[in-house]
Amino acid sequence: MSGYRDADGIGPGGGAAGAGEHGAGAWRRLSPRTLVVHCGWLGAPLGSLALTALATGGRITAGAWFTLGAIAAAFAVVTVAALIRWARTDFRVTGESLDVRSGLFTRRLRSVPLHRVRTVDLTASPLHRLLGVTVLRAGTAGSRDGGGELALDALPVAEGERLRVELLARAATGAGAEDPVLARISWRWLRYAPLTFWVVGGVFVAGGSAYRVLHEIGIEPWKLGFVRRAFAEFGNGMLWLTVPAALLAVIALGSVGAVVLYVENWWNYRLEWADAGSLRVHRGLLTTRSVTVERARLRGVVLCEPLLLRAGGGATVRAVAGGLGNKEENRKRSGLLPPAPRREAVRVAGGTLQSAFPDAALAHHPGVALTPHPRVALRRRRVRGLLFAVAPGTALLAGLGAAFTPVLLHAAWIYAVLATPVALWLARDAYRNLGHGIAGRHLIVRSGTFSRDTVALRREAVAAWTFTTSPFTRRAGLVTLTAAVAAGEEGYRIPDLAEGAAPGFAASAAPGILEEFLISPRRDGSTAST
């Protein structure tokens, strides 16, 4: 079990020598280049000062000089702290554990048994790559909130690769795939990059970030001459032309940004079985990332089909695995395939499971059929769409029209007329996407409309079931069933099952959890608790 203990009496501290010099189990030290990495934060404040000087024609105000002095003082403090941290941090890999000791006044030794290491993540930012170092993060059982994760920043790249092999040496063995490489990047997939909702939203997020940076350095964008002229020309033009042109410009900028991010995130992408016991994902252009997941900790996969990507015939694949960190880190590390053709996604999902992945439509998967959900679930989605999407917008426009201008009254009924069929169509799509079933060793769950997700989960990975109802679902005879898993999102929901069918399905999908709570009929026709 991982934990902290006082390091007094653990022996003399190791120097900078590596394992190759002192043999297995020798204490090793981080690269001294980590001191430069810790100073990378200087880029933002120094860049802000440079922009301020540029905007003011080279005049540095007293406040800017004060800021520069504060940066210099902070630089000195951070440099000394980093030097102490580097000098007082070392690690070793023994035959049984990974040990990391640190601390100046209170020395602590953290020891993690190798058999608890679930994933190894090597990440290198542009600064790390420039210095030839990488950050190693070892995810362990219990690292959902970062408490069980060990991070070493920064290691030489070659040593990081060697350490990864050492940490995963105890991975479960088994038959590997005939072809260890499951997928490589194909730049024909770039056409799927713009098919995300962030094509529009990302432009506004980037614009807001730029505005905040300019505002903080004393520049008001709205007062710049070319910005004021642009807005004046926009307002004086014909809105039926300028508004669509502006939307097209936003979509074009968002598409370019999406393609750039796609290239940055998935450059040199490769998904492969590193050996019989571990799955590895390598990707990244400026910031490289190499995530290795122990095969025994793969609990399943998720085939994700966001609405726009699904319309374009694409999908992505994510892993359901333990030891990937908290929810934020899990989103970063669990990606197995970038937006790609759906057929490729199904193939990669099956290669990861090392068994045929049930198609999301399941019409192409013989012997497997999703159980449809009651029709009342469709009614619930229609009501929610009308109540939470159509009614609020209509009421807001109508209220503003009554208070200010009749034009908004017309906008209210136009919005209602246009939004109602859209809401009903989305409700119908969400209902058609509902389904659950069992395919051999896997529990299959499908739901969602803005992102239709098909989860193939190992049945033995289900640790518990949660039955959730509300006054509305109880009246409709529905229940939401959640499978608790010590991996991925920790819980996978099956919404709006028939109340009478949910317990039986849960007992069939994961035997041994609910049987004692179920009621079975006796031979004489009465019932008895089992």
- Could you give the residue ranges of the DSSP H alpha helices within 217-316? 225-236, 239-266, 307-311
Tokens of 205: 């997020």
Whether 299 and 461 have beta carbons less than 8 Å apart is answered as yes
Nearest to 509 by CA among 458, 448, 433: 458
* CA gap 302, 320 in Å, rounded: 7
Tell how strand 335-341 and strand 435-439 pair up: unpaired
CB 86 within 8 A of CB 133: no
Q: Looking at residue 148, what is its pLDDT?
A: 58
| Phi, psi of 414, rounded to the nearest 5 degrees | -65, -45
Report the candidate in 291, 283, 249 with the shortest Cα–Cα distance to residue 263: 283
∠ Cα 25 29 34 (to 5°):
150
In 417-514, the DSSP E strands lie at 435-439, 442-447, 451-458, 462-468, 478-485, 491-498
CB 433 within 8 A of CB 494: no
| 134-183 pLDDT, tens digit each | 988 887 755 555 455 788 887 898 888 888 888 876 544 343 444 588 99
Instruction: Tell which residue, 383, 403, 394, 402, has the closest CA to residue 476.
Output: 383
Closest CA to 24 of 123, 105, 125, 93: 93
Q: What is the pTM of this model?
A: 0.75
Sign of CA dihedral 488, 369, 303, 291: positive
Spatial CA neighbour of 365 closest among 304, 438, 289, 271: 438
Strand order in 435-439's β-sheet?
A: 335-341, 314-321, 298-306, 451-458, 442-447, 435-439
Helix (H) or strand (E) holding 513: none
Helices 376-385, 407-432: inter-axial angle, 10-degree rounding: 150
pLDDT in tens, the chain (530 residues): 344 344 333 443 333 334 444 455 788 888 888 777 767 666 666 666 666 666 556 566 666 667 667 777 777 777 787 788 888 888 988 878 888 888 877 888 888 888 777 778 888 888 888 888 898 888 775 555 545 578 888 789 888 888 888 887 654 434 344 458 899 999 999 999 999 777 777 777 777 777 776 666 666 777 667 667 776 776 666 666 777 888 888 888 889 989 999 999 999 999 998 877 789 999 999 888 999 888 888 999 999 999 999 999 999 999 999 877 777 788 888 999 999 999 999 999 999 988 888 764 444 444 457 889 999 999 999 999 999 999 999 999 999 989 888 888 898 999 999 999 999 999 999 999 999 999 889 999 999 999 999 999 999 999 999 999 999 999 999 999 999 998 878 789 999 999 999 999 999 999 988 877 776 655 444 444 44
Beta-bridge partners for 293: 119, 279
- What residues form DSSP beta bridges with 305? 452
Q: Six-digit token pair at 98?
A: 């990974």
Are 333 and 121 within 8 A, CB to CB?
Answer: yes
3-state helix, strand, coil in the chain (%, to 5): 45, 25, 30
Closest CA to 144 of 291, 310, 324: 324
Q: What letters, b where the CB count within 10 A reaches 16 and e where it falls short, cover 148-178?
A: bbbebbbbbbebbbbbbebbbebbeeeeeee
Q: What distances in angstroms separate CA 17 from CA 23, 91, 475, one per listed residue? A: 10, 11, 69
Phi-psi region of 448 (alpha: psi -120 to 50; beta: other; left: phi over 0): left
In angstroms, the CA 406 to CA 261 distance is 44
pLDDT of residue 1: 39
pLDDT for position 3: 43
Task: Give the relative orientation of helices 198-216 and 43-55 as an angle to the nearest 10 degrees.
Answer: 70
CA 63 to each of CA 59, 68, 210, 217: distance values in angstroms, whole numbers, following the listed order: 11, 9, 22, 11
pLDDT at residue number 362: 46
Instruction: Give the rounded distance of the alpha carbon of 152 from its chain centre.
Output: 22
Place of tokens 């050996």: 275
Spatial neighbors of 111 by CB under 8 A, at least 6 apart, are 2, 3, 5, 97, 98, 99
* Rg (the chain; Cα; Å): 28
